[in-house]
Amino acid sequence: MSDFTPLETAVLDNICADYGDFGETLRALLASAKVRERDKTGHGFYTTIAVNKTLPAIAPELTRIDGPDAHMLGMGEGMIMGFILWWEKGYPQSLEGFQYGDAKGDTVDLKSYDLSALRFSHIEPLPKGETEPS
């Protein structure tokens, strides 16, 4: 996962850890993944990824996995970001990051931030029972 930022890597590692055998297969797919594009929307971002499609698709029916929350630093007191790993035809396609807001409900314009420099204090997994892929 060398093309990913530290935040993206931590989020994807957390998703893989939450899913047992499925997560290990996903980790193998992501190990050789390449970042194709990063799109900063202002409120969040999309990181489009390319995976090795000579490996078998692992979840053809899957459309998304709700990811963990990240407690961010330097973006306002109490800023939390959420994540979704989007799927297409059995392969992970993009990672979406979005802001819930800080302690006052404010958000920042991520277009002015270097995504590779985003810092976080910790990643908070979704509570058990809320991590079913859909």
Q: How confident is the model at residue 125 (pLDDT cuts 50, 70, 90)?
A: confident
Q: Which of 114, 78, 77, 81 is nearest to 10 (CA)?
A: 81
- Cα angle, residue 57 at apex, residues 14 and 70 outer, rounded to 5°: 20
- Owner of token pair 């409900």: 105
Whole-model pTM? 0.91
Tell me how many degrees the CA angle 116-121-126 measures, rounded to the nearest 5.
Answer: 100
Measure the CA–CA gap between 26 and 120, rounded to whole angstroms: 24
pLDDT in tens, 27-68: 999 998 999 999 999 999 999 999 998 888 888 888 999 999
Question: How far apart are the C-alpha atoms of 113 and 85, rounded to whole Å?
Answer: 21
